[in-house]
């Protein structure tokens, strides 16, 4: 073991993530109500079942989703995709989600179980094809339908729904698996019409995209009216710049789902691609999705650092993103960050093996690599590589200061164009190996 005790102490420095990242209040979109309960799928009376209901009767909602591209798709992914396809024009009025069991690699029985689960909610709200279903937890195990049924009955019979902060926080808690804190984000925005709209989102992920304790899930709800196909396009754009720009270990699960419902409870014209507000709304949704996705990285298993990888001045956006992803997924970069080592060589190397679409995106003589501090200290930028040449006079003391931070940025300037992309990643620690090397438990 070559880690000094002081290093280990620094790396293990406890951060109270719950206090830092869990809000104590929020704003919530009109005409949504949410509930959660402990169905018994998880042990010890922990919340493990949630329902989101759209209560707006004035017009049909719009719903959209981005699903995992893993070829092993869990039953709820296949079912929700079908519900969504059949819902256009009629909207989606409920999402039912459980944690503790992912209902994945469960074959036809799993499909029947998931179908039964969503139909229980359809019956309670008196509608057909109005409910999306999501599951997260252990894979390869059957859903305990009796417990899920008991939980859904409990929620509807006892009318556990609420619109207040604690109801939303309970919902966020009910979808957690190995997460160390619930992920709840909300914000308001105003369009040029002077009206105020609300976005609320919850997510889970334990900071990793893990097939054992699946999954990455994210839900975004708004009271803005958005046309269905526009919403789908917008969510896909936002996801490509948020949930698809995070890395804990680079693995992608069988259940990953990001979905969004716009219920149009605020009575203004429906946004579509030709609306003048379209760009503004897309930007709002994207930034919101980024806030939510970043919380997933913050909760990275065993992680001690939150690192923004910022690739600037690229010829193509896609190549900037491919380079950001290559750096973010590199085990050697992640361990160097954990070890607080200003190892520009590993960063250059990860850039060099990224599989670019356009080789002209990278000119090895134009590249600049820096670390950037996230606090107020100066200088903010520490140059490690300048125009492809290592900076041999790098201020090692300043490097140590920046690398000791919990939040920092790796800045790559490609110098070949004007595009940029960000990725958010965390370090690779002893604790990560401990958590993931453990027996299923």
Residue numbering of the annotated binding site = 177, 204, 215, 301, 436, 441
| 94 vs 213 by CB, closer to a second copy | 213
Q: Is 378 in the site for a second copy (CB under 8 A)?
A: no
Specify whether the CB–CB gap between 62 and 223 falls below 8 A: no
Q: What is the dihedral of CA 171, 177, 183, 184, to 10 degrees?
A: -10
Q: Which stretch binds a second copy (CB under 8 A): 50-58, 113-121, 263-271, 329-337?
A: 329-337
Specify whether the CB–CB gap between 101 and 130 falls below 8 A: no
- 104-107's contacts with Cβ under 8 Å and 24+ in sequence apart are 104/72, 104/74, 104/75, 104/135, 104/139, 104/140, 104/211, 104/214, 104/254, 104/255, 105/72, 105/74, 105/139, 105/140, 105/254, 106/74, 106/75, 106/140, 106/141, 106/142, 106/143
Minimum CB distance to a second copy, residue 163 (Å): 37
Q: Which stretch binds a second copy (CB under 8 A): 31-39, 175-183, 267-275, 431-439?
A: 431-439
Q: Is 397 in the site for a second copy (CB under 8 A)?
A: no
Q: Is 376 in the site for a second copy (CB under 8 A)?
A: no
Helix axes 317-329, 344-352, angle to 10 degrees: 130
Minimum CB distance to a second copy, residue 344 (Å): 7
Active-site hit among 136, 215, 373, 425: 215
Q: Is 393 in the site for a second copy (CB under 8 A)?
A: no
| 1 vs 397 by CB, closer to a second copy | 1
3-state percent breakdown (helix, strand, coil) of the chain, nearest 5: 35, 25, 40
Based on its alpha-carbon atoms, the radius of gyration of the chain, rounded to whole angstroms, reads 22
- Interface residue with a second copy, options 253, 263, 282, 328 (CB under 8 A): 253
| 2 vs 43 by CB, closer to a second copy | 2
Number of Cβ within a 10 Å radius of residue 376: 6
The answer to whether 230 is a known catalytic residue is no
Q: Is 440 in the site for a second copy (CB under 8 A)?
A: yes
Minimum CB distance to a second copy, residue 412 (Å): 13
CA distances from 399 to 307, 340, 366, 380, 381 (A): 15, 9, 22, 11, 10
Binding site per annotation, positions for substrate: 177, 204, 215, 301, 436, 441
| 229 vs 331 by CB, closer to a second copy | 331
Q: Are strands 368-373 and 217-222 parallel, antiparallel or unpaired?
A: unpaired
| 172 vs 213 by CB, closer to a second copy | 213
How far is it, in rounded angstroms, from Cα 73 to Cα 134? 12
Minimum CB distance to a second copy, residue 13 (Å): 15
Which residue ranges make up the site for a second copy (CB under 8 A)?
A: 1-3, 69-72, 104-105, 107, 139-140, 208, 210-212, 249-254, 330-332, 335-336, 338-341, 343-346, 348-353, 359, 362, 364, 385, 388-390, 392, 428-430, 432-441
Give catalytic residue positions: 215
């Amino acid at each position: 073991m070559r880690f000094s005790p002081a290093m280990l102490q620094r790396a293990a420095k406890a951060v109270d993530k719950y206090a830092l990242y869990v809000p104590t209040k929020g704003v919530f979109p009109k005409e949504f109500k949410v509930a959660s309960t402990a169905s018994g799928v998880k042990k010890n009376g922990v919340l493990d079942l949630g329902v989101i209901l759209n209560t707006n009767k004035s017009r049909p909602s719009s719903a959209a989703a981005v699903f995992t591209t893993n070829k092993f798709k869990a039953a709820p992914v296949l079912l929700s995709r079908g519900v969504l396809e059949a819902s256009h024009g009629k909207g989606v009025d409920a999402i039912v989600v459980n944690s503790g069991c992912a209902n994945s690699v469960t074959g036809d029985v799993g499909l029947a179980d998931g179908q039964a689960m969503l139909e229980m909610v359809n019956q309670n709200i008196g509608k057909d094809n109005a409910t999306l279903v999501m599951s997260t937890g252990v894979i390869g195990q059957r859903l305990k339908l009796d417990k899920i049924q008991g939980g859904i009955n409990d929620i509807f019979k006892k009318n556990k729904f609420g619109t207040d902060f604690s109801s939303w926080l309970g919902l966020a808690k009910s979808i957690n698996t190995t997460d160390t804190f619930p992920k709840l984000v909300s914000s308001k925005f105003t369009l040029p019409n002077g009206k105020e709209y609300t976005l609320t989102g919850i997510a889970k992920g334990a900071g990793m995209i893990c097939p054992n304790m699946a999954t990455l899930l994210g839900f975004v709800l708004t009271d803005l009216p958005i046309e269905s196909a526009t919403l789908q396009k917008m969510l896909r754009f936002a996801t490509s710049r948020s949930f698809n720009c995070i890395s804990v270990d680079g693995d992608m699960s069988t259940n990953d789902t990001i979905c969004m419902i716009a219920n149009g409870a605020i009575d203004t014209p429906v946004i579509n691609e030709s609306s003048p507000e379209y760009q503004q709304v897309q930007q709002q949704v994207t930034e919101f999705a980024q806030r939510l996705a970043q919380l997933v990285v913050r909760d990275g298993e065993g992680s001690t650092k939150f690192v923004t990888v910022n690739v600037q001045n690229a010829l193509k956006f896609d190549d900037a993103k491919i380079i950001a992803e290559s750096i973010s997924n590199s085990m050697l970069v992640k361990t160097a960050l954990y070890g607080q080592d200003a190892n520009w060589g590993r960063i250059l190397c990860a850039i060099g093996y990224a599989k670019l679409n356009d080789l002209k995106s990278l000119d090895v003589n134009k590249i600049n690599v820096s670390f950037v501090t996230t606090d107020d200290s100066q200088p903010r930028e520490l140059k490690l590589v300048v125009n492809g040449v290592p900076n041999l006079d790098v201020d090692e003391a300043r490097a140590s200061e920046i690398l000791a931070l919990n939040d920092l940025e790796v800045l790559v300037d490609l110098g070949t164009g004007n595009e940029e992309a960000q990725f958010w990643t965390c370090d690779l620690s002893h604790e990560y190996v401990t958590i993931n090397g453990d027996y299923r438990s």
